[in-house]
Amino acid sequence: MTKIACFGGSFNPPHLGHLKIALTVLRQEHFDEVWFLPTLSTPLKKNPMASFEDRLQMLELLIKPYRKLKVCTIEESLPLPNYTINTVRALHSIYPNHHFTWIIGSDQSVQFSQWKDHETLLTLVDFMVVVREIDETLHPAMKVIRIPGIEQFSSTNIRSGKLKDTTPEIIRYIFDHELYMESIARSMVSERRWQHTKQVEKLALELAAIHHLDPHHVRVSALFHDCTKNWIRDISTQWLMRIDPTYLTMPSAIWHQKTAEAYLKSLGIKDKVILDAIGHHVVGQKGHPVSQVIFIADKCEPTRDYDPSQELALARIDLDAAAELVRQKQQEYIQKEINAKSTTSD
């Protein structure tokens, strides 16, 4: 019989820990294949999920280099609410010559008594529990496999901004399809900075609609334009030393436009429109509509302590002229601050 290890879960999104588990089980336990089974819904979890199709596509990106890792979409065809017992019975019906083993985590093992028809399940499939420590108290009927290091990875971490818990291909997919954007962007800044970011996003999307710009470019640029604003100075300095030391001669108030662009590049983001808009949002960039929209929205959103009505009225008609006016007002404001400090010091 063909030996299949089944790895069910929400994979919301899939991460490097999932991949490490699948490859370890495949090689160490000598299975013919490991099948990932994304759920349509997860009865014991309350986190909002990306669509089934998005999670399926991210799994395909995760396993693409490995021919013995597969994605099984059987749960897509099963009625809701679905439970593991229904999936197992459907698999036995479709694949009578396969022997299935179910991979679960130690947290799921602890909850196993809450699973629907859990006693029957034990008679239909073998269970393998992945643990961090071998002395964890687990169900006696389940085989235990210890895989060190997997605890550092989690889908929650990724949704909270720890994006390097997954692959560059999946990170690009997340950004391209705007998955978890709010939670990721919010995790990178202070609460005060987040309120500013949301106002920039709102105003930028209003201007984008007027000027028929791609809302995806505008939204992602707005959400992440200040993603490194709250970095400590030493971290910003280290990044600038590596990517563009000449920036260190410029006012530190503009450093974050360069570090934010570089940080997104380091995650594998390649969209030049987004990168340019973020990389020029403090000083502006002539001739690039999305960059101009982010520049204007950043300076004119309603939490700023001055009246931007003249600039916004112009921005609804002519982005070039509005960006130039904003730049002029910005220089006047900076000069006023310099003069005020000079007077105080005298």
In a domain, 180, yes or no: no
> Taking 80 as the threshold, does the pLDDT of residue 223 lie above it?
yes
Q: How far apart are CA 48 and CA 223, in angstroms?
A: 20
Tokens, residue 187? 């995790």
Measured CA distances, 116 to 43, 85, 276 (Å) = 10, 7, 52
Together in a domain, 205 and 335: yes
In a domain, 61, yes or no: yes
In a domain, 73, yes or no: yes
Together in a domain, 238 and 329: yes
In a domain, 176, yes or no: no
> Taking 80 as the threshold, does the pLDDT of residue 44 lie above it?
no
Contact 101, 124 (CB under 8 A): no
Together in a domain, 66 and 194: no
Structural domain total, the chain: 2
> Taking 90 as the threshold, does the pLDDT of residue 259 lie above it?
yes
Q: Write the DSSP assignment of 174-230 as a string of letters.
A: HHHTT-SHHHHHHHTS-HHHHHHHHHHHHHHHHHHHHTT--HHHHHHHHHHTTTTTT
Q: What is the arithmetic mean of pLDDT over 68-74?
A: 97
Together in a domain, 157 and 20: yes
Tokens, residue 24? 């370890």
Q: Could you tell me the CATH number of the domain that includes residue 135?
A: 3.40.50.620
Q: What is the dihedral of CA 259, 263, 268, 270, to 10 degrees?
A: -30
The pLDDT value recorded for residue 121 is 92
The lowest-confidence range among 6-20, 132-146, 266-280 is 132-146
pLDDT digits (tens, 9 = 90+) for 116-174: 998 999 899 999 999 876 555 666 778 888 888 888 999 999 999 999 999 999 999 99
CA geometry: angle 73, 75, 77, nearest 5 deg:
90
Closest by alpha carbon to 190, among 145, 249, 147, 231? 231
The answer for residues whose C-beta is within 8 angstroms of residue 329's C-beta and 6 or more apart is 299, 311
Higher pLDDT, 321 or 40: 321
Polymer length of the chain: 346
Together in a domain, 121 and 235: no
The answer for residues whose C-beta is within 8 angstroms of residue 76's C-beta and 6 or more apart is 40, 52
Q: Could you tell me the CATH number of the domain that includes residue 205?
A: 1.10.3210.10
Together in a domain, 139 and 214: no
Element (H, E) at 36: strand 33-38
Contact 121, 88 (CB under 8 A): yes
The pLDDT value recorded for residue 136 is 55
Q: How far apart are CA 74 and CA 80, in angstroms?
A: 13
Together in a domain, 251 and 135: no
The pLDDT value recorded for residue 135 is 56
pTM of the model: 0.90
Q: How far apart are CA 304 and CA 200, in angstroms?
A: 11
The pLDDT value recorded for residue 332 is 74
The pLDDT value recorded for residue 163 is 95
Tokens, residue 202? 């709102």
The pLDDT value recorded for residue 124 is 92
Q: What is the mean pLDDT of the chain?
A: 91
In a domain, 8, yes or no: yes
Dihedral sign from CA coordinates of 214, 218, 223, 225: positive
Task: Region of 95 please: left (phi>0), alpha (psi -120 to 50) or beta.
Answer: beta
Residue that finishes a domain, picked among 171, 199, 223: 171
Together in a domain, 241 and 146: no
Kindly calculate the radius of gyration of the chain based on its CA atoms and give it in whole angstroms: 26
pLDDT digits (tens, 9 = 90+) for 16-28: 999 999 999 999 9
Together in a domain, 150 and 192: no
Together in a domain, 80 and 142: yes
Print the domain residue range for 218: 188-345
